[in-house]
Amino acid sequence: MELYSLTIHEISDKIKSKEVTIREVLDSIYSRIDDIETKVNAYINLTKEYAYIRADKLQKKLNDGEDIGILGGVPIAIKDNICIKDVKTTCGSKMLENFVSPYDATVIERLESLGAIIIGKTNMDEFAMGSSTESSYFKKTVNPWDITKVPGGSSGGSAASVSSDMAFASLGSDTGGSIRQPASYCSTVGMKPTYGLVSRFGLVAFASSLDQIGPFTKDVTDMAIMLNSIVGHDDKDTTSVNLNKIDYTKYLINDVKDITIGVPIEFLKEGLNPEVKKAFDSSIDKLVEHGAKVIDVNLDYIKYSLATYYIIATAEASSNLGRYDGIKYGYRTDKFEDLLDLYKKSRTEGFGEEVKRRIMLGTYVLSSGYYDAYYKKAQKVRTLIINDFKRVFESCDIIAIPTAPNTAFKIGAKTTNPLEMYLEDIYTVPVNMAGLPGISIPCGFDSNNMPIGLQFIASAFEEKKLLQAAYTFEQNTEFHKMKPNI
C-alpha cells in the first residue's frame, strides 16, 4: 500500500515510530499529485518548497526526541479562501489573483502548532459562491469518481484532493453546504461545525453569520483528530465561543443504543433522487440494526430555508464584497476616468458572473423599499427555522437526512440555470441558517458508481453525537474504504 493512501492516524503512527521519514511522506503525496493532478485539478497553488523546509525541521525535532504534535508531519491541503502568511489567497477569483496574505488564519496557526504540513491551496467556486467549483476563475476541478462530473462545491478542490489521495485531510468552508455537499459527491467525510466553534479569523468573508471552517477527512477517526486541532476560542474573532476543551476522539464509540434519530420524512417526499433515497433508507436500517431508535420528525419551516438563505447570504455577501474596490488590494483596472469609474471597472472586470449576480441580488434585497419585504422578512423566517430545530431536538439526539438530493452531475449541466444549481443545497442550507453542526459520511453508490452521502445534524455544540453516530455507521460498513479509480 502506498503511503499517500493512508489515513492521518495511520501515517502519524508510522512517522512517530520512525518507520517512515516525513520527507518520504511528502515525496509520496507530491508524486501522487504529479501523477493525477493534471486530470483532477484540485489545487490552485502548491506550497512545495515551504512544505519540505517544514518537513526537515519537524524531522529534526522528532529525531531529537521532541513532541511534534498530533498532526506531526501530516500533509494537509487548505481551501484558497483561508489565509496563509506569505502565500497567495485567491478565493478562486481574478480579483485576488495576486493577493499575498500578510498573516495566518487562526486555523493555520493551530494546525501548524500541532505539526501539520500545508502542501497547497485548493480550488473553489469564486468567493465560495457555487455548488460545483465551476465558477473558479482559474480551473475546473473534476470529480475523481468520474472526470466528466463536478466534485460539488464550493470546496470542490478540498473534497477532490482528499478523495483522490492527494492530501491526508483538508480544510474547507461551509456557508450553505460547501463542505458537506462536495464531501457527499466525492465520498469523503466532511463536517461543518457549530457556528462559533472554529475561529473565522483569516477566512475571507462571504456571509459572516453563516460561514464556518471545517475539515474533510478519509474517515471519522481523522475527523475527530482534525476537530481537536482546530476548535477553540480566539479573541481575534468576536463570534468565537469560549467553551471547555473537549477531546473528540473520546466519542469514537461504536454504539448507537443511546441515540434517538429523527428523520424528517415529510421533507424528503419531493425532489429526492430514488437511488439516493434507497441508500438513505438502508443507512437508517443499518443504524436501527445497531440499536438506534428512529422517530419521524416534522420541521415545518425547513422548506423555506433555501429562499431565506438566498436573501440573507446574498445580502451579507453584497456588504462583505464591498471592500473590493480596486484601491487597497486586489485587481485594479488599467484605464479609468475618475474614482467611480475605477471602482466600477475594477469590480466588473475582477468578479465573475455568479459573484456579480449575488452582489446585485443582495444589494436589491437591502435596497430602500425592499429591505422589510425581503431582508427583514428572511431574518424572521430564520428565527422560525431555528425554533423548529430546537423543538425537534427535544425529542431526538440527531437528525438524519441525505446530504444532497442527487449524486454529482455532469460538468456544465447546471451552469445556465442558477436556480437548478441552488437546489442541490436544499438539505444542507437549513443547518447554516440555524448555526448547527452537520456531518456528511459516505453511505453508498448509485448505479453509475457515484458516491452518496448521509448527513447527521445535531443541536449546537453537540459534535460529539455526530461523531458517535458517524463512527458507528462507518465501523459497520465498507463505503469509506472505497477509492476512486483514477
Partner 1 sequence: MSISREEIKHIANLSRINVEDNMVDKYAETLSNIVDMANEISKLNTDDVKPTAHILENVNVFRKDEVKPSYSRDRILENAPTKESGCISLPKVVE
136 is catalytic: no
Q: Which of 377, 415, 446, 461 binds partner 1 (CB under 8 A)?
A: 377
What CA–CA distance (Å, rounded) separates 391 from 403? 22
Site string for partner 1, 433-462 (x = CB under 8 A): -xx------------------------x--
What nine digits make up the cell of 452?
452518496
3-state secondary structure of 215: strand
Interface segment toward partner 1; rule CB under 8 A; list 147-155, 184-192, 382-390, 400-408:
382-390
The answer to whether 127 and 81 have CB atoms below 8 angstroms apart is yes
Cα-trace Rg, the chain: 21
Catalytic residue from among 136, 154, 164, 199: 154
> In sequence order, what are the residues at sequence separation of 6 or more whose Cβ sits closer than 8 angstroms to the Cβ of residue 485?
none
Least distance in Å: CB of 240 to partner 1? 9
Mark the segment that binds partner 1 (CB under 8 A) among 44-52, 122-130, 137-145, 305-313.
305-313
Please pick, from the candidates 332, 445, 477, 483, the single residue that binds partner 1 as defined by CB under 8 A.
332
Tell me the three cell numbers of residue 271: 425532489
Q: CB-wise, 16 or 356, nearer to partner 1?
A: 356
Return the SS3 of 410.
strand
Q: Find residue 121's DSSP bridge partners.
A: 45, 78
3-state helix, strand, coil in the chain (%, to 5): 45, 15, 45
From CA 396, how far away is CA 391, in angstroms rounded? 10
Helix (H, G, I), strand (E, B) or coil at 42: coil
419 lies in the site for partner 1, by CB under 8 A? yes
Instruction: Please identify which residue in 4, 30, 168, 343 interacts with partner 1, judged by CB under 8 A.
Output: 343
Dihedral sign of CA atoms 189, 195, 197, 198 in order: positive
Indicate which single residue of 53, 265, 288, 339 sits in contact with partner 1 (rule: CB under 8 A).
Answer: 339
Does 328 bind partner 1 (CB under 8 A)? Our answer is: yes
Calpha distance 261→256 (Å, rounded) = 9
CB 194 within 8 A of CB 232: no
Which of 38, 269, 274, 340 is close enough to bind partner 1 by CB under 8 A? 340
Contacts of 361 (CB under 8 A, 6+ apart): 310, 314, 318
Over the window 66 to 105, marking each residue x when it contacts partner 1 by CB under 8 A and - when it does not, the resulting string is --------------------------------xxx-xx--
Q: Are 309 and 382 in contact (CB under 8 A)?
A: no
Find the binder of partner 1 among 46, 342, 413, 482 (CB under 8 A): 342
In whole angstroms, the minimum distance from the beta carbon of 466 to partner 1 comes to: 18
233 lies in the site for partner 1, by CB under 8 A: no
Q: How far is the CB of 326 from partner 1 (least distance, A)?
A: 7
Q: Residue 43 or 351: which CB sits closer to partner 1?
A: 351
Q: Please enumerate in sequence order all residues whose Cβ is within 8 A of that of 471, keeping only pairs 6 or more positions apart, or say none.
A: 220, 221, 251, 252, 253, 254
CB 78 within 8 A of CB 84: yes
Rounded Cα distance between 154 and 134, Å, is 9
Residue 246 binds partner 1 (CB under 8 A): no
Cα separation, 227 vs 4, in Å, equals 21
Does residue 376 bind partner 1 (CB under 8 A)?
yes
> Judged by CB under 8 A, how many residues of this single chain contact partner 1?
66
Catalytic residue at 131?
no
Site residues for partner 1, 180-219, by CB under 8 A, read 195-196, 209
Least gap, CB of 306 to partner 1 (angstroms): 7
Residue of the chain from 50, 52, 364, 461 that contacts partner 1 (CB under 8 A): 364
The answer to whether 178 is a known catalytic residue is yes
Q: d(Cα 385, Cα 311) in Å, to the nearest integer?
A: 14
Q: Which three cell numbers stand for residue 361?
A: 441580488
Residues assigned a catalytic role = 79, 154, 178
**Which residues would be at the binding site for partner 1 (CB under 8 A)?**
98-100, 102-103, 195-196, 209, 235, 238-239, 241, 301, 304, 306-308, 310-311, 318, 325-332, 336, 338-340, 342-345, 347-348, 351, 356-357, 359-361, 363-365, 367, 373-374, 376-384, 386, 418-419, 422, 434-435, 460
